Structure 1
């Protein structure tokens, strides 16, 4: 039987609302101010402090991705600079996020065009779910860990001073809009070529022609990273130093790789859905950024394992790349991620975000990874030695939270953290062995494939 909202039922709902005076107070407040701020728990704020028992050597300055979806790049480079700054005795340092962003855009567009051809050859229809999903966002700013490995191993890294940000790296909306339109145009042409049965060589030549236009657009908006660079700097002792005529890949291999080797990291997720058992490897259909590059690969483990390995990494002075759903139970101003930071029942009369289990939120579309950051500290319980709270380096500048750092409670970690990346030396052999097993392929639209970006402006 269906419910029809008759005038009698609507009158009942209205009378029920006005019957409780607390609803009027809540309405007065929430119609004038941010409803989330009205739910903020003063008591909980008094209980939480940004102080931790174990902390890595954090590095300045606090980074800022601004109005772009580069969080995953920032999180990696923030992790990479921790041992780099210590090794070379630097006061502060940033790797060039724009350098990796440029090459990701070029590679990602080429990957999309080739994926369109592959999907068309499968017999997928443009009106079908897979094509519709791919065309929705052909060149997302966001990305996953193995995409970073592809970029760093092929293109290396370089100091930010040698390739600084541009307008479109800090605010990517306009450039992305142009690229998406062209990529959809080229997707139609390629799909037609496959339907007409054109030879593979002709299709490849067309992709090369399309990529000339794509590369030009990206280069105009972002600039082109130099093939070689010279980096001049002062160390902490004010000693002048210089690295001359260095290729970015050479710079990574000679100066960084021994300190932070991206190929030695293991990506673990915690996906509790019954359809995806723990102890298995997973990948996502059509997810990648480089033709011929590494495919995205996850090892699924209980969330307690992710917390344990992250703790070991922090204790060894190595930051942990983190994928989470940043917006749930989040006080942006105070930089606190906590299940009790908002008192929804006192304002709305119902609890929010905890009515479904973590697995059910994934199944029913109420949860997915939206942001990447870097764990830099943990507090362990003095008796159980289990984590109680975490410190996270964000990439939204220093005007939020504790000068840009967030605090994550362990309860929040268990509900809204989905992914961590740790060095393989911390990972038990039985888990490492999963890397040798053919992964289960999840559909392209699966939430485990999503690492979209929450722009800082959404919290201003």
Structure 2
């Protein structure tokens, strides 16, 4: 805007240039001050009109030290973990691992997922192995968790890439909430029950001795980092193709090439699963036994499915939010692992229904896969999951972790399913009501009561979200819900949280 007629102004060229500079500076100064003022007004309007004053902070300080208990708590908590300090010695000492209803025998050895988020796979295979071990009189046995882990990485990457294409075709913006959610964590170790069904039905299972652990199955962080960065790179490539109106065949060809790279990464890190194998073992009587040669699918269909059929198991959840009534079927947008596979389905029921089917299943001799928020009110040394395991009010003069109702904790991001384990026993009162549950975890036998937890009925109500039982233990009226067309919840809904993206050893709270 500074095109000044130098001659008409009767000033030199350099004076004119200086004038332009000063005028430009003045104008920009006014604009900048205006914007800063507007920003301050917006910021102040959005925040409290009463900032913390020095007088308020002085009063908080004086009030804190007016109670000698606060000073004692401070002395202890500055030296030790506040979670440990809050443990109730009285409650921990009264926790007894005694149950009147149990499965016939528990699986050996106690499994260990180590530094990975594979709890959902460990829990499922821990349940599956019980009838297999009984039928074949095997004293110690594990199905290969790494085998299903391998195929889940391949399938989930393929599923995610197809979601990227679908959302691009639907016009989802790159900076929109859905794409932000998908790109933030393209893949992790966690999963849901219906994902297990997809993997087992498509790929079968193998004994752990046939496909053992590897470094990256035990410590998956760096392998996942490699996969994630490639998936984000491929997301851009696919979105660019959709924007350029590439044909479906072209896009599918691109996905196939991308999956070939992902396969190479996973196979390099985990090893390559067997196409056929022979399983040789000694039973409890030291008699030689042999199964095979056969494929993983044949092994499952012949030796496992007749004893434990994943298609006969159903998933019941407890989501008490008013927006999601009981007696309804729900699913999650973009949640799954196999294109064309079984859809994730949540049959929402009152917590009492979940407790009853767990008890009935264990009474019938079948252990139960379940999902919960494991870290809340958890006394680690003795393996106690109880609302009174810690007395935070005694230490901090306020309630912690149970200050809101279960529904509100879901709504405000303070609770969700983080870990999957197995119920193997239940203790009841004189009326047959469940009061405590025995839980098989997958953190080795060095933790808790030789690898087992005690979970109380009040804790179950607050922090258990999902159970999986055989449909024969479920009332017909509840089974009818599975015939409904599911309500689709958004991809970021807390009920879509996977067990267990952060339940590995390094991330346990």
- Shorter-chain TM-score above 0.5: yes
Q: Give 1:345's aligned residue.
A: 393
Q: How far does the alpha carbon of each residue in 1:346-382 deviate from its partner, in whole angstroms, 9 at most, with x for none?
A: 1111111121000000001100000000110100112
The 5 Å alignment of 1:213-362 reads: 213-362=261-410
TM-score, normalised by the number of residues in structure 2: 0.89
Matching residue within 46, 62, 74 for 2:110:
62
Query: CA contact under 8 A between 1:373 and 1:395: conserved in structure 2?
Result: yes
Point out where structure 2 has 5 or more consecutive residues left out of the alignment.
1-47
Distance, in Å, in 2 between the alignment partners of 1:21 and 1:234 is 65
Structure-2 change in CA distance of 1:273 and 1:361 (3 Å): same
Q: Equivalent residue of 1:379, what SS?
A: strand
Name the stretch that deviates more: 90-99 or 428-437. Answer: 428-437
Structure 1 segment 77-226 matched on structure 2, within 5 A: 77-226=125-274
Inter-partner Cα distance in structure 1 for 2:218 and 2:365: 30
Partner of 1:439: 486
1:3: how far off? 3.1
> Highest CA radius of gyration, 1 or 2?
2
Quote the offset at 1:244 in angstroms: 2.2
Cα RMSD for the two superposed structures: 0.9
For 2:50 and 2:310, locate their aligned partners in 1 and report how far apart those are by CA, in whole Å. 56
Pick one of 432, 453, 475 that aligns with 1:406: 453
Task: For residues 101-141 of structure 1, give each alpha carbon's deviation from its aligned partner in whole angstroms, at most 9, with x where no partner exists.
Answer: 00000000000001100111111111000001011111110
**2:88 is matched with which residue: 24, 41, 46?**
41
SS at 1:420 equivalent: strand
Aligned counterpart for 1:389 among listed residues 419, 432, 436: 436
Q: What is the CA deviation profile of residues 197-218 of structure 1, one whole-angstrom value per residue up to 9, with x for unaligned ones?
A: 1111110000001111110000
Work out whether residues 335 and 496 of structure 2, in 8 Å CA contact, stay in contact via their aligned partners in 1: yes
Q: Does the alignment pair 1:5 with 2:56?
A: no
Deviations 1:266-309, CA, capped at 9 Å, x for gaps? 10000000000000000000000001101100100000000000
Shift of 1:459: 4.3
Q: Does the 8 Å contact 2:375/2:508 carry over to 1?
A: no
Match of 1:455 in 2: 504
Secondary structure of 2:209 counterpart: helix
Q: Which moved more, 1:193-202 or 1:214-223?
A: 193-202
Q: Which residue of structure 1 aligns with residue 468 of structure 2?
A: 421
| Greater Cα offset, 449-458 or 348-357 | 449-458
Deviation of 1:417 after TM superposition, in Å, equals: 0.1
Structure 1, residues 208-261: CA drift from partner, whole Å, max 9, x if none?
Answer: 011111100000000011000111110000001111211001000000001100
- State the SS of the aligned residue for 2:387: coil
Q: After superposition, what is the alpha-carbon deviation per residue over 1:366-401, rounded to whole angstroms, capped at 9, x for unaligned? A: 00000000110100112x211000011000111111
Shift of 1:456: 2.1
Distance 2:399 2:484 in 1: 42
Q: Could you tell me whether the CA contact under 8 Å between 1:323 and 1:451 is conserved in 2?
A: no
Question: Gaps spanning 5+ residues in structure 1: where?
Answer: none
1:34-71 Cα deviation digits (max 9, x unpaired): 11111110110122111111111201000000000100
Structure 1 residue runs of 4 or more that deviate by more than 6 Å after TM superposition: none
Find the aligned partners of 1:354 and 1:226 in 2 and give their Cα distance. Answer: 48
Offset, 1:458: 3.4
Moved more, 17-26 or 274-283: 17-26
| CA–CA distance in structure 1, aligned partners of residues 106 and 59 of structure 2 | 57
Take 2:76 and 2:446, find their aligned partners in 1: how far apart are those partners? 26
Distance in 1 of aligned mates of 2:447 and 2:381: 5
What is the SS of the residue equivalent to 1:163?
A: coil
Shift of 1:452: 3.9
Structure 2: how far apart are the matches of 1:452 and 1:16? 42
C-alpha contact 1:372 1:451 (8 A) present in aligned 2: no
Query: How many matched pairs?
Result: 459
Q: Distance in 2 between matches of 1:133 and 1:221?
A: 27
Between the aligned partners of 2:92 and 2:382, the Cα distance in structure 1 is 8
Q: Report the secondary structure of 1:135's partner residue.
A: helix
